[in-house]
Structure 1
Amino acid sequence: MATHIFSNDHRRAWVRGAVAATAIAVGISGGVTAVARADQQVGRFLVKGQIEVSYFATGGTPTWGVPLIPETNAGRGGKFQTFKNQASFYWHPAADGGNAHEIGGAIRAKWGENRWENGPLGYPITDELQARGPFNAVTGAMNAFQGGVIYWSPASGAWPVWGEILVKWSSAKRESGTYGYPTGPEIRSATGTYSQTFQRGVISWP
């Protein structure tokens, strides 16, 4: 039976893919390069530091609502804060030059299924961005992470792509290219190969 596994040998491929993913993501960076102002009281809680910078730069209270919790410690030395309108901001000093990024909705839920910032995807390195299909039409959304990406569309749902499969998918123009959006998780077969289904085909490795 095929299972969804992140093995030690595939981890080495993932590291190579993560480097490639980061390089690929440069062209779609959602980084906010601003200096934090004084901490600000928003509703019951303070919004502070780089989370404050990104929160206000991407719309603030009208877009994300008030914070539901104070800024809280996240894995491996980061911080996060959740907000009323189904969004969280995550920050880590080693992620995207120390910028904080927003993640929400179905993409955040799928990231959570993969152990949040402590899983193979790591911290977000972009805010949620529009994803585009053929003819440059907006057809979904995505976030890039330290170790891969999560793409969502109404037709396919939200799924992560990482490692060598991400490299191959990126070379085929991702969601706007040959394969379209991912439609399932990466699967390891009994023979040790990895594959992932997309709207218009399957990508396998090695």
Structure 2
Amino acid sequence: MFRLSRLRSTLAVGAILASVLGGSLVQSAVQATPAQAAPIVYNACDRLNAGQVKYNHHNANRVTFANVTDRTQNRALVTTCVKSGTRYVQDWQAWGYTGRPGFKAPGVPSGHTQYEWSPTGSFSVTEGFGLRNPGTALSYRTLNPRSRWGGGGEYAGNYNKYFESTRHYFPDENMWEFAMNGDYTQGAVLNYNRPPDKAIKYGDGFAIFLHSNPRPTAGCISLPEAWVTRFLQNARSGDRVIMGAVDDIFTPYKSNPNGAIHTKYHAMGGQVGTLKQPTWHELASPYQGGAYRNFSGGRIMWSPKTGAKAVTNGAIKTKWEYWGSEGGSMGYPTNEEVRGLVRGGAWQGFQNGAMMYSPATGAWPSMSGPIRTAWAAQGYERGRMGYPKSQISTVNGVQTQVYEGGKITWSSAAGAKYIYN
């Protein structure tokens, strides 16, 4: 959407902007307290994979984010994520602009175009427009001198819709004039206050687009034409655009309220449970598409293969972290720590074995493989060998692990052997 100064000069005032939930024009002049300033999110696709987006992306093939540090900013980082299997990967990223004064808070009406606010939310994309079809799969309108976008005419049925007319009545937009000035040479309609996202409500806002000509707008997202063209060329009907301040669209200080980590945390008692208070927000792990969140009493790890499991503070967690946490040889936890073993011991399973602990030996890994199999055959820590007292070492092809009652060796030639104290 075009800047107001030029809108006035062309008598094409642009769009009435409003919040996702709508509201009266009187309310729209009131802006909620600005969201706390937070760093720009450069890894929006990772955040999406980790369930750290507050808005529904509806499993769209492409999800484009436009995020600013806080609601008073209009310089936005725009990132498009494309589905690859069960995850999203980044396709492209570019700087652009949003409404001149920034964003309205979620659910807060933004009012007429003269206020120039952008709405916060998640909006579908089903159609595009411009001076020439760049080869998009979206429904596309080639603009002509009659092209208009309805901003008035409550009873004419044109509000927040494309129509054609030889006349231009304020506050309808003359899309052809905007195209001649570079704003609408290419654009995509964001379905704000219009189907299929919601029924149109007069006064809730109109003409929210992603369009060419990067400069502060009266509510739209503006980018260099090359990026808008790329957006259109790869778009499918039903793709989403999620836009707003970082703290309004991502979950920087709490885990996904509908996610596995959040569910596990509350199943373990929440703030009054073993994990106690969260110390930071949920983060994506670089390993196996997982995620984690730290608490004062431990950490909850999640991966697609293991689900959400907690690693509580103590000797087992300390040794697991020493071995590289989920990126080390043990991998992700597969269950929570189990206590009450013989002689005050405890254990926790991981993808590649278990971490064993006793007061006498401390915590040591029992890695999956022939030595662990031989130890299991004697009854694990209840057997003659007792708890492990070292990690596995390898010398001249012979693996050895020391236990309370001796050691177990293995080689490809001799197999597993017990050597008792």
Give the alignment's TM-score, normalised by structure 2. Answer: 0.35
In 2, the alpha carbon distance for the partners of 1:176 and 1:184 equals 17
Residue 180 of structure 1, CA deviation: 0.9
Once residues 264 and 304 of structure 2 are traced to their aligned partners in structure 1, the CA distance between those partners, rounded to angstroms, is: 14
SS of residue matched to 2:344 = strand
- SS state at 2:293 partner: strand
The answer to whether the aligner puts 1:185 opposite 2:396 as a matched pair is: no
Which residue number corresponds to residue 308 of structure 2? 100
Matched, 1:58 2:268: yes
Query: What is the alpha-carbon distance in structure 2 between the residues aligned to residue 185 and residue 128 of structure 1?
Result: 19
Q: Contact 2:346/2:357 (CA < 8 Å) preserved in 1?
A: yes
Partner of 2:346: 141
Paired amino acid for 2:337:
E
Task: Please tell me whether residue 173 in structure 1 is matched to residue 379 in structure 2.
Answer: yes
Question: Who is 2:160 aligned against?
Answer: none
CA offset digits 1:64-109 (Å, max 9, x no partner): 1111110111122100111112x111000012xxx21111221111
Residue 129 of structure 1 corresponds to 338
Letter aligned with residue 280 of structure 2: I
1 or 2 for the larger relative contact order (CA 8 Å, sep ≥6)? Answer: 1
Distance 2:327 2:338 in 1: 22
Q: Structure 1 residues 187, 131: closer, same or farther in 2, change over 3 A?
A: farther
Which 4+ stretches in 1 moved above 4 angstroms? none
Structure 2 gaps of 5+ residues are: 1-53, 55-251, 412-421
The superposition leaves residues 26-57 of structure 1 with CA deviations (integer Å, 9 ceiling, x where unpaired) of xxxxxxxxxxxxx9xxxx93233111222222
1:196/1:203 contact within 8 Å kept:
yes
Alignment of 1:1-206 (within 5 A): 45-48=253-256, 49-62=259-272, 63-74=274-285, 75-85=287-297, 87-95=298-306, 99-104=307-312, 105-133=314-342, 139-162=344-367, 163-189=369-395, 191-206=396-411
Give the aligned length.
Answer: 155
How far, CA to CA, are the matches of 2:390 and 2:340 in structure 1? 17
SS in 2 for 1:76: coil
Residue 131 of structure 1 and its aligned partner are, at CA, apart by 4.9
For 1:150 and 1:71, locate their aligned partners in 2 and report how far apart those are by CA, in whole Å.
Answer: 25
Taking the aligned partners of 2:266 and 2:382, their CA distance within structure 1 comes to 31
User: What displacement does 1:115 show?
Assistant: 1.3
Note if contact 2:356-2:388 (Cα within 8 Å) is conserved in structure 1.
yes
Q: Give the Cα separation in 2 of the matches to 1:173 and 1:69.
A: 41
Q: Counterparts of 1:143 and 1:59 in 2: how far apart (Å)?
A: 20
Aligned partners of 2:382 and 2:260: how far apart in 1? 32
Q: Is 1:89–1:103's contact at 8 Å kept on the other side of the alignment?
A: yes
**Aligned residues of 2:254 and 2:280 also touching (Cα < 8 A):** no
Superposition deviation, residue 59 in structure 1: 2.6
Asked if 2 retains the 8 angstrom alpha-carbon contact of 1:131 and 1:142, the reply is: no
Task: Measure the CA separation in 2 of the matches of 1:58 and 1:178.
Answer: 35
In 2, the alpha carbon distance for the partners of 1:151 and 1:128 equals: 10
Contact 1:131 1:175 in 2 (8 A): no
C-alpha separation between the residues in 1 aligned to 2:378 and 2:264?
A: 32
Over the aligned positions, Cα root-mean-square deviation in angstroms equals 1.7
Rg (Cα) greater in structure: 2
Local SS of the residue matching 1:168: helix
